[in-house]
Amino acid sequence: MPCRKPNEVPQVKPSPIPGDTPAQSGASLGEHCVKDRPTPSGQGSSGEITQLGGVDVYISKPSEYPHAPSKLLLLLTGATGMHSVNNQIQADKFAGEGFLVIMPDMFHNDPLPGSVTYEEDKEPSLIEKLKLRAAETAKSFLADMWLARQTPEKILPIIHKLIEAAKDEFADAVANGGGIYSVGYCLGGRMTLLLAGEKSEAPVHWGHHQVKDEEAAVQKKGPYIKAGAIAHATLVGNEDWEGTKAPLAFICVEADQLFSDEVQEIGKTYLNENNVEHEFKTYSGVPHGFAIVGDYEQLNIKQAQAEAYDQILTWLRAH
């Protein structure tokens, strides 16, 4: 299957010129949100790319399905998207545990600019470093422009359309699980959080708070999932916690600027005050994006990957 892997969006790169100040570039997503790690040796995807409800999807099914019961799991990705082989392998892993996994193309033919196959960096010359620095700044700008377009107002209707189609196409799996499950990584983590809530049909834009009369006039829908797991979420706003109903597990990274301690504490307070079942687990010494399939040399990151995967599986199976 074709694989498109977006280039790195660096955060702060040291200048190749001695004494020069570092170049500040866009850090909206972070390296591991926008570029795949090398695919683990000997691994490949085994599902299929098709359409469901008019949405492009990658579907991975348990080997015994439909003869053995399964549960429906949405896998919502970060910026690397549905065509990432690593994301496809991640879907296959969940399918191997008995879940019927649907991974949608959330970005609807609007992939992150600069998609290339990941390669380990080689030591460039000074001239190459200067050229690379200029190119990275331009790519960072394009990535930020792309990110600004990936709003809940754009992405959630795609997911809602898919959910309605999945309820018909895989009614047995939905019934067997008593609903739909979701696991989200990075940007997909925020979407999983929003799916777990009872939200107004008309979106409330940033900085605007509805008064009581407005709230009474707006019909609320959701939650759309029975339970969810969220790994190193990205771009979660304080208002995203409002209305959360479904049980959620969080895989967090220590000192993660993309899912700050402040935002987490606001979430914990809301979930506790509203008796929403949840768990937060913070992993130290790992990068944002570590929990998705990808090869790392560091043993501690490999171990954390396995631990995070087990955390997700345990949570989903318990609900």
Spatial CA neighbour of 58 closest among 99, 98, 105, 97: 105
Secondary structure of 63-99 as H, E, C letters: CCCCCCCCEEEEEECCCCCCCCHHHHHHHHHHHCCCE
Least confident range of 28-32, 161-165, 238-242, 283-287: 28-32
Q: What is the mean pLDDT of the chain?
A: 83
Q: Is residue 82 classed exposed, middle or buried when 0-12, 13-18 and 19+ CB atoms within 10 A define those classes?
A: buried
**pLDDT at 115 exceeding the cut of 50:** no
- What was the pLDDT predicted at 30? 60
Structure tokens at 129: 């470093």
Using 50, 70 and 90 to split pLDDT, how confident is the model at 216?
A: low
Q: In this structure, how many other beta carbons lie within 10 angstroms of the beta carbon of residue 31?
A: 16
- What was the pLDDT predicted at 147? 77
- What was the pLDDT predicted at 51? 97
Structure tokens at 305: 């990957």
Q: Residues, the chain, total?
A: 319
- What was the pLDDT predicted at 150? 85
Rounded to 5°, the CA angle 182-186-191 comes to 45
Spatial CA neighbour of 180 closest among 227, 213, 245: 227
Least confident range of 42-56, 83-97, 202-216, 277-291: 202-216
**pLDDT at 268 exceeding the cut of 80:** yes
Average pLDDT on 204-226 reads 67
